[in-house]
Chains A and B, each alone.
Chain A
């Protein structure tokens, strides 16, 4: 589990420049400035290759907060 969180945190650092140890459970596309539509693509593609999964299109447009992504990964990885 902590491995999943660790990996996800590293992507949030790379893409949104949010430090790894910072609490993110409340963060989403509204309160992260860099989280625009282009970077959303960036994030989902990076998640897909980092966790070696394919996210269904209808799901990937709903993964718009840190919490939702983490829950999704816990269930699917």
Chain B
């Protein structure tokens, strides 16, 4: 574990770095200076530069209820609120009731403050220190009950308010043990309640939450096999000889596979990249009874003797995802080094030597951390498989239009509504390649957009003979003075290559014409990743005037791509 003096040194070095800056206000009823430094450190590890707005210690009520907070809101991206109840209360039922009600009041005040709706707010839930074990049994139960009921209340708030998050202190206490969590000496001396270790895990968890709000989550985990999913080299010892279950190492590998199953359920795609004979691997997954993962759990396989840094490109291509969404996990330092040098966009996990630490090494990064799981996430893995089937099919047809026809595609179009809101936000923030303007909207901003009178939104859900691809196309149209412009137009790369984008645009133009709009302006904003849609508007009969694109809706040219059926839903 990194010690506090090293943390202070590291923080100095962040100042000169060109990292993305975020600012936060940390309100707590204890001295949070040390915790702040740990947090700055952990956010630095994920390339964020933290600015902490100063607030007085133990002044939560005052900050929330007086104008101070409103003055500060403009400057902050995150508000953290932490109560450490152990430091405050001489236990008795009435006092704790009063105390918790006060916290609830503060939260209600925050919920009512309109200015705070666009800020991410992180609440510490309430926990108990070891002191509680000395209480009378009856009191102990009352105390626990009150705290649990408050924590449930907090959960409800965070479930129903998209910008509210929980830092689960109790989970962290379970993780490192209560005796390693609180430091009474430091509390009585400096009003810092936590140990170095606790400061470390709390700030790590906070940085995960913050990272998850920035939409930098990864999509795919590419795994090595030998000495990663099992112990030993399969080619040498055979499918019954590998170490999986039974022994110390074997149990570790087995447990790691169970963890990977959990990632699968979260919607993360697994792929395997290993220097092995494919026949051996297939046999091993079939025959070894301790194997938790099945071969079908992997959406892509590159099992051969080529360089892994080349193979991983094939995996990204096959799955149609950007390289920066790929994470590489391999026990061999050589392979990791080669990957870093020759394929630097890939995220490489620093795999520890002992397999019992594998899970931790992934959890430590916030690559796969998610607050809410959309229905799309659960479906996604299935969809990548559908896509794979479709690309296998492609080779059978000589004429591409025949191939498209055979897919029996239906595009269902609706506006952005409560049924697809979560997914829409996700699409707006995650889509990089086929995205004309790359304009990002967070949940609050999108809500504001939808409330405006002069706007149209469209989302498209594509289905074909293999299944439902889910909501994969989105457009936002707004009126800017007297001109209607396409503010956002994007397509998930999962469904590219079928001309869906042209048909989606054509349907939008028809709809706008129906609403008596005579002309429309398109914008293309170039980024590192969206060159493939550079000519999209030109290809669709828009006229380029200076750097913008215009189309008159009166004489729309008919699109003759009869292979997609259009359905309108809830529009």
Measured CB to CB, the residues of A under 8 A from B are 10-11, 14-15, 37-42, 44-50, 57, 60-61
Q: Which 6 A-B pairs have the closest CB atoms?
A: A41-B190, A50-B5, A49-B3, A49-B4, A14-B8, A38-B33
B74 adjacent to chain A (CB < 8 Å): no
Cβ contact within 8 Å between B5 and A57:
no
| Interfacial chain B residues near A57, Cβ < 8 Å | 185, 188-189
B9 adjacent to chain A (CB < 8 Å): yes
B192 adjacent to chain A (CB < 8 Å): yes
- Tally of chain B residues near chain A (CB < 8 A): 20
A57 to B9, CA, bound (A): 25
Cβ contact within 8 Å between B5 and A40:
no
A45 to B3, CA, bound (A): 10
Known contacts A14-B12, A40-B190, A41-B189: A49-B31 contact under CB 8 Å: no
In the complex, what residue of chain A is closest to B33 when comparing beta carbons? Answer: A38
Q: Which parts of B1-34 form the interface with A (CB within 8 Å)?
A: 3-6, 8-9, 12, 31, 33-34
Cβ contact within 8 Å between A45 and B34:
yes
Cβ contact within 8 Å between B5 and A38:
no
The listed residue (B8, B34, B189, B196) touching A60 by CB distance below 8 A is B189
Cβ contact within 8 Å between A50 and B3:
yes
B186 adjacent to chain A (CB < 8 Å): yes
A73 to B163, CA, bound (A): 48
A14 to B8, CA, bound (A): 7
| Interfacial chain B residues near A50, Cβ < 8 Å | 3, 5
B57 adjacent to chain A (CB < 8 Å): yes
A47 to B8, CA, bound (A): 11
Q: Shortest beta-carbon distance, B95 to chain A, in Å?
A: 26
Measured CB to CB, the residues of B under 8 A from A are 3-6, 8-9, 12, 31, 33-34, 37, 57, 185-186, 188-192, 196
| Interfacial chain B residues near A15, Cβ < 8 Å | 8
In the complex, what residue of chain A is closest to B32 when comparing beta carbons? Answer: A38
The listed residue (B3, B5, B192) touching A41 by CB distance below 8 A is B192
Q: List 24 A-B contacts (CB under 8 A).
A: A11-B5, A11-B8, A14-B8, A14-B9, A15-B8, A38-B31, A38-B33, A39-B33, A41-B33, A41-B186, A41-B191, A41-B192, A42-B34, A44-B189, A44-B190, A45-B186, A49-B3, A49-B4, A49-B6, A50-B3, A50-B5, A57-B185, A60-B189, A61-B189
A45 to B283, CA, bound (A): 56
Q: Shortest beta-carbon distance, A51 to chain B, in Å?
A: 9
Residue from A39, A41, A44 whose CB has the most chain B CB atoms within 10 Å: A41
A45 to B189, CA, bound (A): 11
Known contacts A57-B188, A57-B189: A42-B3 contact under CB 8 Å: no
| Interfacial chain A residues near B34, Cβ < 8 Å | 41-42, 45
Cβ contact within 8 Å between A37 and B5:
no
In the complex, what residue of chain A is closest to B11 when comparing beta carbons? Answer: A14
In the complex, what residue of chain B is closest to A58 when comparing beta carbons? Answer: B189
Cβ contact within 8 Å between A37 and B190:
yes
In the complex, what residue of chain A is closest to B57 when comparing beta carbons? Answer: A38
A39 to B34, CA, bound (A): 9
9 extra A-B contacts, CB within 8 A, seeds A37-B190, A49-B6, A60-B189: A11-B8, A14-B5, A41-B34, A42-B33, A44-B190, A45-B186, A45-B192, A47-B5, A50-B5
In the complex, what residue of chain A is closest to B191 when comparing beta carbons? Answer: A41
Cβ contact within 8 Å between A49 and B5:
yes
| Interfacial chain A residues near B3, Cβ < 8 Å | 49-50
A49 to B37, CA, bound (A): 14
Q: Shortest beta-carbon distance, B44 to chain A, in Å?
A: 15
| Interfacial chain A residues near B33, Cβ < 8 Å | 38-39, 41-42
Known contacts A38-B33, A57-B185: A46-B8 contact under CB 8 Å: yes
A23 to B185, CA, bound (A): 32
Residue from B185, B188, B190, B192 whose CB has the most chain A CB atoms within 10 Å: B190
In the complex, what residue of chain B is closest to A42 when comparing beta carbons? Answer: B33
| Interfacial chain A residues near B189, Cβ < 8 Å | 41, 44, 57, 60-61
A15 to B37, CA, bound (A): 11
In the complex, what residue of chain A is closest to B192 when comparing beta carbons? Answer: A41
Cβ contact within 8 Å between B188 and A46:
no
| Interfacial chain B residues near A46, Cβ < 8 Å | 4-5, 8
Residue from A10, A11, A50 whose CB has the most chain B CB atoms within 10 Å: A50
Residue from B31, B33, B191 whose CB has the most chain A CB atoms within 10 Å: B33
| Interfacial chain B residues near A60, Cβ < 8 Å | 189
A18 to B37, CA, bound (A): 19
Known contacts A38-B31, A57-B188, A57-B189: A45-B9 contact under CB 8 Å: no
Q: Shortest beta-carbon distance, A44 to chain B, in Å?
A: 8
| Interfacial chain A residues near B6, Cβ < 8 Å | 49
Cβ contact within 8 Å between B31 and A41:
yes
In the complex, what residue of chain A is closest to B12 when comparing beta carbons? Answer: A14
| Interfacial chain A residues near B185, Cβ < 8 Å | 57
Q: Shortest beta-carbon distance, B9 to chain A, in Å?
A: 7
A42 to B31, CA, bound (A): 10
